[in-house]
Structure 1
Amino acid sequence: MSCCGQASLALAAAPAGAEAGPSREEILLASHRIGEGLWQTDLSVPAVHCGACMRAIESTLGRLEGVEGARVNLSTRRVSVRWRESANPCAFIPTLASIGYPAHLDDPAADERDETLARLVRALAVAGFGAMNIMLMSVAVWAGAEAGTRDLFHLISAAIALPTIGYSGRIFFSSAWNALRHRRTNMDVPISIGILIAFGMSLYDTLNSGAHAYFDAAVSLIFFLLVGRTLDHVMRERARTAVKGLARFAARGAHVVHPDGRQEYLPLAEIEPGMTLMVAAGERIPVDGEILSGRSDIDCSLVNGESLPREVGPGATVEAGTLNLTGPVTMRARAAAKDSFLAEMVRLMEAAESGRSRYRRLADRAASLYAPVVHTAAFVTFVGWMLAGGGWHESLSIAVAVLIITCPCALALAVPMVQVVAARRLFEVGIMVKDGGALERITEVDTVVFDKTGTLTLGTLVLTNGDDIAPADLAVAAGICAHSRHPHSRAIVAAAQDRVPLAPVFDEVREHPGLGLEAKLGSDVHRLGRAAWALRDAGSITGTVLSCNGRPVARFAFADRLRPGARQAVQTLKDEGLRIVLLSGDRSDEVQRLAGALGIDEYAGDLVPGDKVVRLATLAAEGRKVLMVGDGLNDAPALAAAHASMAPSTAADIGRNAADFVFLREGLEAVPAVLRLSRAAHALTRQNLALALIYNAIAMPFAVLGYVTPLVAAIAMSSSSIIVVANALRLGRAEGGAREQGRLAAARLSEAHA
C-alpha cells in the first residue's frame, strides 16, 4: 500500500467532530493578492509523503470552483492554492481533510529552520572529508616515504587542512574569541589554541622540510569535537520552545459590531475592551469577554483540561483561545489580546522555560573547571621546558602535545553519546526524549505530580450503563447523536456500534446549544440532553436523558476510563519513595474520587493553569524536584515549569511540545520505566566523565615530560573518545529488562484490544 493510502486509512479512523476551519476573513488575512483578481493561500499539509500525495491534493483542489491551480511543495509539506474571488476558500481545508490530508493555514514563523544544526552538519561533513584525506597522506609518510615524497604529501595535507580548519574550525574559533573578548574563558579556548598552534607548527616544519607534521591531528581533533557538539545540539533542540504553539489557539481576528449596527472584521491586535463581537460556532473566542446574547457549549480544555464542554449563556465569562462549539454568541470584549488569558499562558510558558534554561548540566559543570586546568598545564609546560634549556620549537611542540592529549573530545562525547543511546533505548519501550538535559534532571526527581483527565484517565467518555438500555432506545439515541460532536453524543454512538439495530431516519434534527438535541419522527418529538429540558416534568431526575414527547425513555451515565497501568505505576512510584500529588482542573469531587481509587493522598481540583504553576513553585520552594505528568492545553505552563515533564502522545500539540518526554503507548508504565532508564544513563554519564578525567590524569604527565609527540597525543585522544562511546553502548545491556517490560506491556494492550 502506498503511503498515501496508509495516511488516508489512518486519518479515516480519527474521531469525528474536528473543529471547523477558519472563516473567509481569517483566510483573507493570511492570503495575499497576486494580481489579475487572483489570491494565493498557503496551507500546511503535514501528511504529504510522496508524489502520489501531491497528485491527489493538486487534482482535488484543482476541481473546486474558482480555483485556478494548486501546487504542493513536498520538502516543506505546503500547498499553495491560487483562486479567484468567486471561489470559496473556506472549502480548502475541509476538502483536504475529506481525502485524508488535514491542513491548516501556514505559519512560516512556527517552522523556522534550525540554522545552527545545518551549520554544524556542514562543518562536520567538511571536517570528516578533510581528516579522511589527510590521514591517507599520513599513512604514506608513516610507511617510510622518501624526503621528497614526504614533503609533497605534507604540502598537499596543508592545502587540505587550511580550508578545512578555516571552515569547520570557525565554530570553535568564534566561540573562543567571543569568550576572550569578554575577558573570560571556555572549553573552546584551549581547543582553538591547540588547533592553531598545531597547524602553525606543522606548516612551519613543512616549509622547512621537517620530518613531522600534525595536520591530521589538528583536523581529526575538529572532527571528533564536532561529532560531540552536533549530538549535543540535536538533543538540546528537541526541547524547542512550545510557546509558538500557543499562537495557533489565538483567532486571527473577530467580527466587530459597531454601535450603528455596522459589522467589520478586524485583526486581533485592533480589538479593544468594550467592543461587541460576534463569534460563530466552530470559531475560537478571540479575547476574554462576557456573553451578551446566545447560548452555546464552550470547549474549555485550554483552561481546565477537561474534554467536557461548559454551557454558557448571557452573563457568562469566556476566555481567549477557548472554542465555541455549538451555537453563535455575541460577546463584549473585556481585555485586549495582549492582556487576555491566552497571553498570560504565553507569559507563564516563557517564564517557565527561562527558569529551566538556567539548569547547568553535568558536562557544563565539568567543562567550567576543565579549561583553566588545561591552560595552566600547557603554559607551565612551555615555560618549564624553556627554562630547562629546550628550544622554542621543542617547548612549543610539547605544550601542543599537552593541549591535544588533554583535549576535551572524550568529555564532549561523554554526555551526548549516552543521551543518544538512551533516547534510542527509550524509544524501543515507547518513550520519546525531547531534551537530553531532562535525562539528567529526571534522576533528581523526588515528587511526581499527575494531571487527571487524559493522563491518569484516557480523557474519553464512555457510556457505562449501555447494557441497561433497551437496544431500540439506544438505536434512537445513537441516531440523534450522529448529528452532534458533543462528547456525550460520541460516547453514545460508540456504545451503539455493533450492538443495536439500524437507527431510524429522522425527519428533522436540531441542536439546542447548551441543552441538547431535538429530533422529529412523524408526530413524535424525541429529545436527548439535560433532564430539565428534555422532560415535561423532570422532578428529581438529573443528568442526560432520552425523552419521547416529554416522557422519559432512558437515562445515560458516563465516565472517564482509567488509563491502563495507572494503579501499578502509582504504586511503583510510591514504593520507590516518591511523593505523589494529583493536580487537576476538573471538579474537586471527581478529583477526590480518583485520588481515593489510586491511593493518592495529596490532591487538588478546580485549578487553572496559573494555579498549577504556583503549586509547582511551592513544591520547588520546599526543595522538591518535581516530575510533572500531564496532557492538556492547560498543563503546558506546568509541564514547562517542572524540573522534568512527561506527556502522552495523545496530548494536545502544545502539551507535547512543552514536555521533555512523550510516551507513545497507552499504558502509564512509561513513568517508572523512564525513571529507571534515566538513572542508568546518568550512572553511565558519570562513568564516562570519570574515564575522561582518569585518562587526562594519566596522559598529562607523560605529555608534560615530553614523552608524547603531537601525533601520539592525537591517537591517544581518539582512543579515549572510542572508549567513551563503547561505554555508552553498554546502556543497551543494562536496560534489557526495560525493553522486555515494554514488550509485555504491548502484548497486554494487544490482548485487551483483541
Structure 2
Amino acid sequence: MLTSTSTTEIFATEPNSPNPSWVILDTQDQWQAFSQPAGNDPTHSLVESSLLLDGLRCAACSGTIERGLSTLPGIVSARVSMSKKRASVIWSPALTKPSTILGAIQAMGYSANPASHNENQLNTTKKSRAAFWRWLVAGFCMMQVMMYASPSYFTKPGDITPDIAILLNWASWILSLPVLLFSSSTFFANAFRDLKHRQISMDLPVALGIAITFIVSSAATFAPHGWWGDKIYFDSLTMFVFFLLSARLIEVKLHSKTLGSMEALVSRIPENIERQNLDGSYTRVLNSQLKVGDIARVHIGEAFPADGKLVLGDTRVDESLLTGESTPIQKNLHDKVVAGSYNLGQTVNIVLEAIGESTQYGQIVNLINQAAIEKPRLSQLADRVARPFLFFVILSAAVAAALLWHTDPARALMTAAAVLIVTCPCALSLATPAAMLASASAFVKRGILIRRLQAIESIANIDTVIFDKTGTLTEDHIEVQSITYKQGLTENDALALAAAVAQHSMHPVSRALVSANQQNSDQSSITLTNIQEVVGAGISATLQANTAHADLINSHLKLGSAKFCGVVEPSERSQQVFLTDANGWLATFSLHEAVKHNAALAIQQLKDANLSVELLSGDQAHTVVNTAKEIGITQFQAACSPQDKLSRLHALKQQGKNILMVGDGLNDGPILASAHVSIAMGKGVPLTLAHADYVLLNGDISQIPQLIRHARKTMTIIKQNIAWAIVYNVVCIPLAFFGVLSAWLAGLGMAVSSIIVVLNALRLTTFSETKAK
C-alpha cells in the first residue's frame, strides 16, 4: 500500500530545479502583476499571489499542494481551488520569492504559472482542445473495437474459425493502442506522478484498472492457451475510457457554465483603449499603461477601462454585471462611470480617477476570486475523506483479486479492475463546490457578491435577522430639509462647516451634508485636523483656519447626534444632526429619509419564512419608531451605540439564535463581524470597507429573502449530492467486488455518477424570484 510522505522528504529525494524563466518574476515590479497586499496583514509585509495550476485531478491533489507549500519558509498560507485550478498563496517577500514557490509546486509533480485572465483563457482553450481530441480518438477506436467484438456476442461456438477469431483479436489490440497511449495518457501521467511522490489521487486507481485490463487482454491475444485464458476485454477497455473522458468533458462544460457569469465579469476590462495625447490626438495603448489623470476615449460597445468622470459627451451605461440592474443608466457630463460597465450611447471621453485593483470593478473581481478559492466546511470534509477512501479502494481491489486468483486468475484481475474503476470519490469531492459555485454564479448575476462560500451554509441556518436603519431600510440619499443656526452665522456658514467635517465619513448622513454643500462657495478657508469618527455617534475635528467667524466659532468642532454633541434631545419628530463647538450649539440640520419602497415586502417575506426580525439603530427614538411601524417591524431599539448593538447580538447568541446582520457595511463593522453571517449594502460604500459575508451592490433589500431561500435550496442540493455519492459507492463497490459489474459498466457508472452531481448543481444557476403578494 502507498503511504504518504512529507514535502520535506520529496525535496530531499528530488532537488528543486525551477524553470529559469521564473527568476524574472522575483523582481517586485513583476510579481506585483499577479499579487496584492495580504488583506489580513496589519504590518503590510505580506503579499497574496494568485497562481494557475495544472495537473489537478481530485481533492487529494489540492491537499498535497497546500501541505507542501505550508512547510516552506516564508509561506504563511496556501489555498487551492479544485474548481478554478487556482492557488492563493500568502508569502513574505523578505523570506522567499516567486521562483521558489513555483519550483516547489513543480517538484511536487504539478505545474504553476502566474494567474492572469489571458493566460487562464489560453490555458483553458489549449486543454479543452487536447481533451476533445483524446475523447474523439477514444470514441472512434471504441466503435471499431465494438464492431470487431460483436461477432463473439452474436454467434454460436464454432461459427467463427480460429484464424478469424485471432485476426479480430489482433485488430482490437491494435485499435486499443491509441486509446491506451494517447486517450489515457493523462490518467497514466498523473498516476506516475502519484507513485513518484508516494501520494494518491483518483487517477491512480483508474490507471491501474486500465493497465490491468489491457495486460490481461493482451496476454489472451498473444497466447490464448495460457493460464490467463482466451477472453479479451478490449471492448470494455475502450468503452470505459470513452465514458470517463466523456464525463470529464461534460463536467468541464457544465462547470464553465456555472462560472459563466463570474468569468464574464472578470473579463470585462478591455485589453486596450484610446488615450488622448497632449496634442489632442489619440493613441491606442494597453490598459496596463494607463495612469490616473489620463483621458481615454471610449466608443459605443466598449467597456470603460477604469473608474472616472465624463469630460466630453453624455451616454447610457450598462452596469448590469456590476450591480444586477439591467436597465441602462443615463450618464451626463461630469457624472462618474465605473470600470467594467459598457458604453451604449455614443463615444465619450473620461478622465481616469482610479485604475486596476483600486477600482470598484477590481475590488469585485478580487472578492469573486477569493470566494472561489475559499473552501467551505463540507468541502474540507470531503477532501479529508477522499484520500483514505482511495486507499480503501485499492486495498479492496487487491483483496478481490486474491480471493479469485486460485479459481480464475483472469477473472480475478478483471474484478480488481472493475473495483478500481467503479469508485467515484470525484462525485463526493464535487458535491459541495459544484453546488456552491453554481449559487455564487447566480448571485453575481443579481449583483450580490459573496466573500466566502461557507456563508451559503451559514445564511441557510439563520433564524433571526437584525437590520440597521439608515442606508439599509431607508434610501441612502438623505436630503437636508432645513437648517437652524447660531445668531451671527449664515446658513451657508453652518453648512460649509458641517460639510467640511462630514466629508471625512462615509455615513449616509455625512454624504447628505456634503451633497447639500456642493454649490456652496464658503468653504475654501476651512482646514481641519485631528479628525476622529466615533462609529454610530459622530465626528470631532479641530478647526485650523476660519478667519470669517473666528470670534463666533471655537476650534473644537463636533458633528453628530444630540448625545455626542452634548445638546438637549429634540422634541420634534424629525431626524436631526447637530454641529457644536467647545462653547456649545452652532447649528441643527433636519434631515429627511424615505423608507425603501420594497422594505415592507421584504420584511413580510422574512416573517413568512419563520424568521424573527429586529431593528437596531443609533438614530433618535421617534425616527426609529416611525420607520419600524411603516415597514412592519415590532422588535426595535433606538439610540443604540455600537456597544449596545453588540450587547443585543451577544444576548441573542446566548439564547441559541443564529443571526443575520444587515447593515451599511461601514459603520456597522463590529456587529457585522460578530454575527453568524452578515450582509452589507454595497451601494456607495467602498467594498474594501464593507466587512460582510455578502455585499448587495445595488442595495436592493428585496433580494435578501430570495438569497436566504436560494441558500437553503443550495444546502438541500448539496445534501442530495453527498447522499448520491455515498449510496452510489456503497452499492457499486460490493457489486464490482463480487464480479457482478463488468469493467465497462464500472466505467459507465463512474462517469454517470460525476455527471449527475454536476447536473444537479446546475439547477442552482438560476436565481428564483419571489412574487409580490
Match of 1:408 among 384, 408, 425: 425
Distance apart, 1:504 and its partner CA = 5.8
Q: Which moved more, 1:503-512 or 1:108-117?
A: 503-512
Alignment-derived partner of residue 601 in structure 1: 635
Alignment-derived partner of residue 85 in structure 2: 120
Q: Which moved more, 1:359-368 or 1:131-140?
A: 359-368
| Runs of 5+ consecutive residues of structure 1 not aligned to the other structure | 1-40, 43-70, 80-104, 179-187, 239-352, 745-754
Check 1:618–1:462 CA distance in 2 against 1; reply closer, same or farther (3 A cut): same
Check 1:201–1:218 CA distance in 2 against 1; reply closer, same or farther (3 A cut): same
Q: Measure, in 1, the Cα distance between the counterparts of 2:735 and 2:435.
A: 29
Residues 410, 720 of structure 1: 8 Å contact kept? yes
Residues 407, 717 of structure 1: 8 Å contact kept? yes
Check 1:489–1:674 CA distance in 2 against 1; reply closer, same or farther (3 A cut): closer
Counterparts of 1:204-215 in structure 2, within 5 Å, are 204-205=215-216, 208=219, 210=221, 211-212=232-233, 214=237
Match of 2:187 among 160, 165, 173: 165
Give the letter for the 1:143 counterpart: Q
Q: Measure, in 2, the Cα distance between the counterparts of 1:196 and 1:719.
A: 19
Distance apart, 1:136 and its partner CA = 0.6
Distance apart, 1:201 and its partner CA = 1.1
Q: Measure, in 2, the Cα distance between the counterparts of 1:384 and 1:205.
A: 17
Give the letter for the 1:133 counterpart: R
TM-score by length of 1: 0.51
Distance apart, 1:159 and its partner CA = 3.6
Residues 647, 659 of structure 1: 8 Å contact kept? yes
Q: Measure, in 2, the Cα distance between the counterparts of 1:456 and 1:431.
A: 17
Match of 1:364 among 361, 364, 382: 382
Alignment-derived partner of residue 759 in structure 2: 726
Q: Measure, in 2, the Cα distance between the counterparts of 1:659 and 1:489.
A: 22
Alignment-derived partner of residue 709 in structure 1: 742
Q: Measure, in 1, the Cα distance between the counterparts of 2:376 and 2:647.
A: 19
Q: Measure, in 2, the Cα distance between the counterparts of 1:637 and 1:481.
A: 26
Alignment-derived partner of residue 677 in structure 1: 710
Deviations 1:408-433 (A, max 9, x none): 33333333333233222223333223
1:447 and 2:464 correspond = yes
Give the letter for the 1:120 counterpart: K
Q: Measure, in 2, the Cα distance between the counterparts of 1:195 and 1:493.
A: 66
Counterparts of 1:527-566 in structure 2, within 5 Å, are 555-558=588-591, 562=595, 565-566=598-599
Residues 564, 666 of structure 1: 8 Å contact kept? no
Alignment-derived partner of residue 390 in structure 1: 408
CA RMSD of the aligned region, Å?
5.8
Q: Measure, in 1, the Cα distance between the counterparts of 2:475 and 2:734.
A: 60
Give the letter for the 1:427 counterpart: V
Alignment-derived partner of residue 137 in structure 2: 136
Q: Which moved more, 1:208-217 or 1:670-679?
A: 208-217
Distance apart, 1:649 and its partner CA = 2.0
Give the letter for the 2:206 counterpart: I
Distance apart, 1:381 and its partner CA = 4.2
Q: Measure, in 2, the Cα distance between the counterparts of 1:552 and 1:635.
A: 28
DSSP 3-state at the match of 1:448: strand
Q: Measure, in 2, the Cα distance between the counterparts of 1:532 and 1:579.
A: 37
Residues 374, 406 of structure 1: 8 Å contact kept? yes
Give the letter for the 1:415 counterpart: T
Check 1:585–1:74 CA distance in 2 against 1; reply closer, same or farther (3 A cut): same
Give the letter for the 1:409 counterpart: C
DSSP 3-state at the match of 2:741: coil
Q: Measure, in 2, the Cα distance between the counterparts of 1:528 and 1:564.
A: 42
Match of 1:200 among 201, 206, 211: 211
Match of 2:515 among 486, 494, 506: 494
Q: Measure, in 1, the Cα distance between the counterparts of 2:375 and 2:752.
A: 33
Alignment-derived partner of residue 70 in structure 2: none
DSSP 3-state at the match of 1:577: coil
DSSP 3-state at the match of 1:624: coil
Alignment-derived partner of residue 48 in structure 2: 111
Give the letter for the 1:197 counterpart: L
Q: Measure, in 2, the Cα distance between the counterparts of 1:444 and 1:131.
A: 42
Residues 361, 440 of structure 1: 8 Å contact kept? no
DSSP 3-state at the match of 2:85: helix
Match of 1:437 among 454, 473, 484: 454
Q: Measure, in 1, the Cα distance between the counterparts of 2:196 and 2:81.
A: 16
Alignment-derived partner of residue 737 in structure 1: 769
Match of 1:419 among 432, 436, 443: 436
Q: Measure, in 1, the Cα distance between the counterparts of 2:511 and 2:554.
A: 13
Check 1:132–1:168 CA distance in 2 against 1; reply closer, same or farther (3 A cut): farther
Q: Which moved more, 1:570-579 or 1:669-678?
A: 570-579
Q: Measure, in 1, the Cα distance between the counterparts of 2:241 and 2:646.
A: 49
Residues 458, 560 of structure 1: 8 Å contact kept? yes
Give the letter for the 1:113 counterpart: S
DSSP 3-state at the match of 1:415: helix
Give the letter for the 1:447 counterpart: T
Deviations 1:370-415 (A, max 9, x none): 779867865664455447x232x32232232133223233333333
Distance apart, 1:702 and its partner CA = 5.0
Q: Measure, in 2, the Cα distance between the counterparts of 1:616 and 1:712.
A: 55
Q: Measure, in 2, the Cα distance between the counterparts of 1:463 and 1:106.
A: 41
Q: Measure, in 2, the Cα distance between the counterparts of 1:710 and 1:481.
A: 78
Residues 127, 219 of structure 1: 8 Å contact kept? no
Check 1:129–1:617 CA distance in 2 against 1; reply closer, same or farther (3 A cut): farther
Alignment-derived partner of residue 326 in structure 2: none
DSSP 3-state at the match of 1:465: strand
Give the letter for the 1:715 counterpart: L
Alignment-derived partner of residue 445 in structure 2: 428
Residues 602, 702 of structure 2: 8 Å contact kept? yes
Deviations 1:71-126 (A, max 9, x none): 999955999xxxxxxxxxxxxxxxxxxxxxxxxx9968343224634993688976
Check 1:608–1:653 CA distance in 2 against 1; reply closer, same or farther (3 A cut): same
Distance apart, 1:367 and its partner CA = 5.2
Counterparts of 1:319-358 in structure 2, within 5 Å, are none
Q: Measure, in 2, the Cα distance between the counterparts of 1:411 and 1:593.
A: 51
Q: Percent identity?
A: 24
Check 1:380–1:453 CA distance in 2 against 1; reply closer, same or farther (3 A cut): farther
TM-score by length of 2: 0.50
Q: Which moved more, 1:143-152 or 1:538-547?
A: 538-547
Alignment-derived partner of residue 310 in structure 1: none
Distance apart, 1:491 and its partner CA = 2.9
Residues 426, 677 of structure 1: 8 Å contact kept? no
DSSP 3-state at the match of 1:464: strand
Give the letter for the 2:749 counterpart: A
DSSP 3-state at the match of 1:143: helix
Residues 639, 659 of structure 1: 8 Å contact kept? yes
Q: Measure, in 1, the Cα distance between the counterparts of 2:131 and 2:210.
A: 14
Residues 194, 204 of structure 2: 8 Å contact kept? no
Give the letter for the 1:491 counterpart: A
Q: Measure, in 1, the Cα distance between the counterparts of 2:413 and 2:428.
A: 24
1:568 and 2:601 correspond = yes
Give the letter for the 1:419 counterpart: M
Q: Measure, in 2, the Cα distance between the counterparts of 1:364 and 1:544.
A: 53
Residues 468, 616 of structure 2: 8 Å contact kept? yes
Q: Measure, in 2, the Cα distance between the counterparts of 1:478 and 1:691.
A: 65
| Runs of 5+ consecutive residues of structure 2 not aligned to the other structure | 1-26, 53-79, 87-109, 112-123, 149-167, 222-231, 263-370, 530-539, 560-565, 571-575
Q: Measure, in 1, the Cα distance between the counterparts of 2:668 and 2:558.
A: 34
DSSP 3-state at the match of 2:50: coil
Deviations 1:34-67 (A, max 9, x none): xxxxxxx98xxxxxxxxxxxxxxxxxxxxxxxxx
Deviations 1:630-687 (A, max 9, x none): 444575565455433322224554554x533222222212221111112222333333
